[in-house]
Amino acid sequence: MKPSIILDEAAISRALTRIAHEIIERNKGIDQLMIVGIKTRGETLACRLARRIEEIEGKPVLLGVVDISMYRDDLSKKSLEPEIKGTDMPETVTGKIIVLVDDVLYTGRTVRAAMDALVDHGRPSMIQLAVLVDRGHRELPIRPDFIGKNVPTSREEQVVVALSEVDDADQVFIKR
Helix axis angle, 41-57 to 9-26, nearest 10°: 60
pLDDT at 106: 96
Average pLDDT over residues 8-12: 98
DSSP assignment string, the chain:
-PPEEEE-HHHHHHHHHHHHHHHHHHTTSSTTEEEEEETTHHHHHHHHHHHHHHHHHSS--EEEEE--GGG-TTHHHH-SSPPP---B-SS--TT-EEEEEEEEESSSHHHHHHHHHHHTT---SEEEEEEEEE----SSS---SEEEEE----TT-EEEEE-HHHHSS-EEEEE-
166 has pLDDT over 80: yes
Relative to beta strand 4-7, strand 171-175 is: antiparallel
Greater model confidence, 13 or 78 = 13
Confidence at 176, pLDDT banded by 50, 70, 90: confident
Nearest to 17 by CA among 42, 44, 54: 54
pLDDT at 79: 52
pLDDT at 107: 95
Average pLDDT over residues 34-47: 96
pLDDT in tens, 57-85: 999 999 999 999 888 776 555 555 555 56
Q: What is the pTM of this model?
A: 0.92
pLDDT in tens, 81-101: 555 567 788 889 999 999 999
Nearest to 132 by CA among 168, 173, 166: 173
pLDDT in tens, 14-40: 999 999 999 999 999 999 999 999 998
pLDDT at 2: 77
